[in-house]
Copies of this chain bind each other. A is one copy, B any other.
Amino acid sequence: MILAEELTKILSSDQVTQNLTILQQHSQDESFHEPHLPDVVVFPKSSNDVSRILSFANEHRIPVVPFGAGSGLEGHAIPVQGGITLDFALMNRILEIYPSDFCVKVQPGVTRLQLNKELKKYGLFFSVDPGADATLGGMAATNASGTTAVRYGIMRDQVRDLEVVLADGRTIHTGGQAVKSSSGYHLNGLFTGSEGTLGVFTELTLKVYGIPECVMAARAAFPTVKQALNTATSILTAGIPIAKMELVDSRSILQMNRFQETDYPVMPTLFLEFHGNDNGLEQETAFTRLIAEEQACVDFIYESDSKERKKLWKARHHLSYAFRHGSPGKHIEGTDVCVPLSCLADSIEHARKKMEEADIDGAVIGHIGDGNYHTLLVIDPDDPNDRKKAHEINKAIVEFALQHGGTCTGEHGVGLGKIRYQRTEHGNALDVMMDLKRLLDPNHILNPGKLFPMSSPSTLNIN
């Protein structure tokens, strides 16, 4: 069977390509995982297109991998078994904005910045910010989160409904337009974060929020990571509805200063953001400052000016670039675990120690209101020894997290990189997950090779 030819019987020929450059673009994501070419890339224009492709693929046991912006960090979009990559570039319309229902209906190829630009006209915003300008379909597939999760929740919290095409081509809706429901099983939650392994999203209804009246940022430097984290816990205990609360360790601040021309004190630092009204924020920030000072905070600076605030968050978001630019030719490998807040300080200390022992430079940063932290490891991608060291550090960090009640991935997802930790993390719940996979994708065509240590499907001979 000539796969591309068969597909042009289903879609129009300009929706199907085997152009090598395009295949290569769809062979990788932003991670360190080995690229692999798909056999063909198709560009569906509708749910119906997706449904017909899946019916065909299911019948012929051909792997199908959905592709958004390619900004994933665990290899989700890499078609490790070849087959069909579904690129949602042509399904990138904002279908409807419902201002008084605080929700929007979008196609999966819409990116979060595209959505926020449009929402702004209505005084609304979409809260999840994973850093990259990811597609909303991809963010739902990996259950993305980021800096604002401490206040507004993760991607799964925003999903009211998904239109999902199942492996056999059936189309279902997992939820509805109501804010909440106790009707039936929570398919919204099951499909969000399923990483393309249970179905393909063709439409998303997502929660949005009113833009807060006032936004204020602050930066607070502490002698130790522990004191910064104690401050974070006290902020939460006080019920202060903090909107962002990021830890940047002192090594990272040093690199930030070099790259961004900032002159922040080279100490463990909290980057904070408050959303509310101006009176409330005044009191919240004053109270936060008091809490911080009890933890020996040596430098507490407000950035109420929007330009200064942008500079602060830019510095935070460009940390990976800062390290890369500081070490030409080097790459950054990230780690991503989430631990109970009470052991976050120990986890971070442990991670930094592992980096030092291996003589690997890099950052330690965290969405610490959630207990989610990352290391950014600076390595030479062509040095097998460096790659091995990065792998070992990642392993040590994950194992420490799992030993302390945490999870192997806070927000990047399982993809290829965290499969090996699934049994330890989930115990025999993994059997239930694998049963769900077999139930909904019996021929194992949906993003095979991801999430589970399951065998590959028996694919036909395709080219």
Contact = CB atoms under 8 A, between A and B. Distances in A.
Contact of A189 (B156, B276, B278): B156
B414 A182 contact: yes
B189 A188 contact: yes
A328 interface: no
A186 interface: yes
A204 interface: no
B237 A178 contact: no
A294 interface: no
Interface of A: 98-103, 123-124, 142-145, 149, 153-154, 156-157, 166, 170-174, 176-190, 192-194, 198, 209-213, 233, 236-241, 275-284, 287, 338-342, 369-372, 401, 405-414, 418, 421-422, 425-430, 432-433, 435-436, 439-440, 451
A408 B425 CA distance: 36
Given A98-B342, A182-B410, 19 more contacts: A100-B237, A100-B342, A103-B340, A145-B180, A154-B180, A157-B157, A171-B428, A178-B407, A178-B410, A180-B338, A180-B407, A182-B409, A190-B190, A210-B236, A210-B237, A239-B276, A279-B280, A280-B283, A436-B436
Contacts of A149: 180
A342 B435 CA distance: 40
Contacts of A413: 182-183
Q: Which of A182, A185, A342, A369 has the most CB of B within 10 A?
A: A182
Nearest to A338: B178
Contacts of A182: 142-145, 154, 193, 407, 409-414
A356 to B, nearest CB: 25
B406 A176 contact: yes
A176 B405 contact: yes
27 contacts: A99-B237, A145-B180, A149-B180, A153-B153, A156-B186, A173-B426, A176-B406, A176-B407, A178-B338, A178-B372, A179-B371, A180-B410, A180-B411, A181-B407, A181-B409, A181-B410, A182-B414, A183-B422, A183-B425, A184-B422, A185-B436, A187-B433, A189-B189, A213-B239, A279-B283, A280-B281, A435-B440
A27 to B, nearest CB: 23
A433 to B, nearest CB: 5
A184 B239 contact: no
A189 B185 CA distance: 8
A384 to B, nearest CB: 28
Contact of A172 (B189, B407, B428): B428
B178 A340 contact: yes
A249 to B, nearest CB: 20
Contacts of A370: 178-180
A405 to B, nearest CB: 4
A159 B255 CA distance: 39
A279 B287 CA distance: 12
B433 A209 contact: no
A71 to B, nearest CB: 15
Given A188-B189, A422-B184, A340 B177 contact: yes
Contacts of A153: 153, 157
A194 B190 CA distance: 13
B183 A409 contact: yes
Nearest to A421: B183
Nearest to A426: B184
A148 to B, nearest CB: 12
B190 A186 contact: yes
Contacts of A102: 236, 341
A195 to B, nearest CB: 9
A282 B282 CA distance: 12
A281 B188 CA distance: 35
A60 B153 CA distance: 44
B338 A179 contact: yes
B186 A193 contact: yes
A283 B282 CA distance: 11
Nearest to A430: B184
A275 to B, nearest CB: 7
A433 B185 contact: yes
Contacts of A342: 98, 100-101
A275 B238 CA distance: 11
